[in-house]
Amino acid sequence: MATAGDKTKETGNHSNDCSIRLENPNIAAMKEDVLYHFSLSTSTHDFPAMFGDVKHGMGIPSIAIMLHELIKLLYHARCSNITIIRIGTSGGIGLEPGSVVISQQAVDACFKPEFEQIILGKRVVRSTHLNNQLVQELLLCSTELDEFPVVVGNTMCTLDFYEGQGRLDGALCSYTEKDKQQYLKAAYAVGIRNIEMESSVFAAMCASSNLRAAVVCVTLLNRLDGDQITSSHDVLTEYQQRPQRLVGYFIKKCLKKA
């Protein structure tokens, strides 16, 4: 059984080890469940028929809303043995632009492997550990593919693109280049190799739901050299395809084995 994180407790309707765990006892008792942001309802749509074969990853800004509804969708569709991979772009630290980072773990802006949330007014902290076996499988794929630099490193997840990532070029900035360099170098020293804005909630929710999860992001610039993304459109487009190429290779390899 491949699990994301250390939790192995199983709940929900399905006895199969690989099925989705929905950490919410209310769903099974609901007559109808409306996935509002997807315009789908269990009473008007046949989820197993429509989505029973879904295995692909996604990467979008409102990833928490998407994940709540995607995880419920996969649950209603009775999908099992799911691997979910976030692909996207990021700012690199100490890496050649265009390098791809496979995340060892997601950390917050204080470098902790945690995702903090306020639930009913109380602070709830969840682990953001990712599946190590999946990291190794993806790294092996990158060696076989051998098309661009790929590293394994920690990924810092922030709530803001400007101040939250120590950029000097936002509408607000109350620190110096020296403060910024100090922060980014401290991040590098604890193994952080890139910065993005989705990985921590992605890792936390996938781990809670028994989904094998990975984060694969390309770095568009080296933040030690600057804040603005100045590469040409063509270069950026090619960079953005790199996580897709690596994950595409991984998916094909899995399908061949299946």
- Residue 48's region, left for phi above 0, alpha for psi from -120 to 50, else beta, is alpha
| List 1, 125, 140, 229, residue binding its own copies (CB under 8 A) | 229
Give the residue with the Cβ less far from its own copies, 143 or 174: 174
Residue 205 as a binder of its own copies (CB under 8 A): the answer is yes
| List 6, 9, 49, 110, residue binding its own copies (CB under 8 A) | 110
Buried b (16+ CB within 10 A) or exposed e, 84-106: bbbbbbbbbbbbebbbbbbbbbb
Residue 61: which of 199, 192, 183, 236 has the closest Cα?
199
Residue 118 as a binder of its own copies (CB under 8 A): the answer is yes
Q: Mask of contacts with its own copies, 31-50, x by CB under 8 A?
A: --xx-x--------------
Q: Least separation, in Å, of the C-beta of 43 and its own copies?
A: 11
On whether the CB atoms of residues 103 and 217 are closer than 8 A, the answer is: yes
Residue 161 as a binder of its own copies (CB under 8 A): the answer is yes
Show the 3-state SS of 74-118. Answer: HHHCCCECCEEEEEEEEEECCCCCCCEEEEEEEECCCCCCEEEEE
Residues 217, 222, 227, 232, CA torsion sign? negative
Residue 16 as a binder of its own copies (CB under 8 A): the answer is no
> With CB under 8 A as the contact rule, which of the stretches 1-9, 98-106, 167-175, 239-247 interacts with its own copies?
167-175
Residues that bind its own copies (CB under 8 A): 22-27, 30, 33-34, 36, 61-62, 64-65, 67-69, 71-72, 75, 108-111, 117-121, 124, 158-164, 166, 168-175, 179-180, 182-183, 186, 205, 208-209, 228-230
